[in-house]
Amino acid sequence: ENNKKEDAEEEDEDDTTVKRKDYNKLDAVVDQVLDFLETHKSELTPEAEKDIYHFLTRDVLQAATGSKSQKLVDLLPKRPQELQKVKDAGGVLIYNEPEIRKDLQWLEENGRCMDLLEPGPSTIPHAGLGAFAKRDLSKGSLVAPAPLIHIPDGETMMDMYRLDWVETEDGDEVMAPINKKVINKQLILNYCFGHKDSSMLFLPFGMNTNLINHASGDKANVKLTWSTMEFNQFKWQGLSPRELSSPKYSRVGLVMDIVATKDIKQGDEIFLDYGPEWQEAWDRHVQQWKDRLDLGDIRSEWPLRALEITPKYLDGGAPYRIPSELQKKPYPSKVLLVAFIVMEDVPLGEKRRETDGTPIRKWAGDSKAAFQGEFMYTCTVLEREQVDGSYVYKLEIEHVDEVFHIVGVPHRAIKFVDKPEQSDQFMPHVFRHKIGIPDSMFPEVWKTKGGEEPADEKEEEEEEEYYEGDDEFEIYEE
């Protein structure tokens, strides 16, 4: 852990990027030089002022800032007489980049409010979360901007295949498709915008916009429009999907606005009409689901997932169970208990091995970097104690084919995850369909096909291969 901290410090020293803290240091230099020159102005000739200024900004600054020194020196004026202009401008950053400061008129013309929506349980039964208005919104007003990640070959990108470990020519093992048979579509397809005659997809990532649910016709209270803000690259609408797949366009450049079609009251749920193709696909899916239930192909119970049981355990709410408790009440069969573990030797004088020889280590993951996937291990809770309103645990993990007991693990370092291939992404008979962009606003050049095969019909053709294996659901009260 100490080595990692030292490496991070060295990386900071070698970094030549000028950061906010560097501008703050330069502002302090400007203030100090101005104070010095003001204090000694009666004693200094213009030539002496220039020599002192160059000494402070070049020799001293270079010695203090290392590899990025020349960049910092270049941000300061060439002559000491211009230092007051830096201070009057508001600092070195504004002096060099005056256009970054915007007035209220510019904000009114170009700004977009990002906090008009908030999440909450949807009013639609079994729909999960929805988006709700945080304040009254008038007809025609902006509800939320929706910057788009454009995916030129989106439908192919959403294809899912059966994977297995294969060995490369270099002897490495990687996960790769076992054949070219498409078994389903990615779950994220349900959150993408698209058009029935195009393979392009657009993933919105505006604040809470992905929580807006569907309602048909007059029940919808918002619509999609292309944003008028300067950031929106309208010229991209004249480029083909092939052109947009170029690395030149591998950035966010398209923006839609979600606009109110009627007056919306604070607390109202926001609804968007996903389009007739989406509605038809959903109606077909619901009927096929009912038919499968009647035939007994699927059971009516839905297995609990990590996302559903996690809230009970957040912030030390409920303790993770020790073995004796798990015997009486096991966790749902589709989830795993994991912990973020960075370990170190226990202090001298403390127990370092169990009686059976199992090594004991101390949890040492109290940094943001430790809560990354590379430090995540499946675990078993051995012991638990309550400390300061939360819980501290002793866990058992396996690391490099050796079992370790880890002491001092805080509650926040433990969580549930779905078992491999058990998340909603892999559920059988699930619904997958893009949200429709109205034909009136979809560029002709993006239309790449004459129509698409309905998702549920495609699913039925491949059902025999896809739905092999465990398909058992369970009733579980957490």
Mean pLDDT per 10-residue section of the chain, whose length is 478 residues: 44 67 89 89 87 79 72 87 91 90 81 89 91 96 95 91 87 88 91 95 93 95 93 93 93 95 97 97 94 84 83 87 96 94 93 96 89 93 94 95 96 94 79 95 87 41 39 44
Q: Given this model, what pLDDT does residue 66 score?
A: 67
What is d(CA 272, CA 146) in angstroms, rounded to the nearest whole number?
A: 13
Q: Given this model, what pLDDT does residue 220 score?
A: 97
Tally the C-alpha atoms within 13 A of residue 415's C-alpha that lie toward its C-beta: 19
Q: Which residue has the tokens 């008038």?
A: 138
Cα angle 120, 122, 123 (rounded to 5 degrees) comes to 130
Residue 195 and residue 246 in contact, taking contact as beta carbons nearer than 8 Å: no
pTM beyond 0.85: the answer is no
What is d(CA 284, CA 278) in angstroms, rounded to the nearest whole number?
A: 10
Copy the structure tokens of residue 370. 């430790």
Residue 57 and residue 73 in contact, taking contact as beta carbons nearer than 8 Å: yes
Find residue 129's DSSP bridge partners: 121
Phi, psi of 294 (to 5 degrees): -65, -35
Q: Given this model, what pLDDT does residue 224 score?
A: 97
CB atoms within 10 A of CB 64: 11
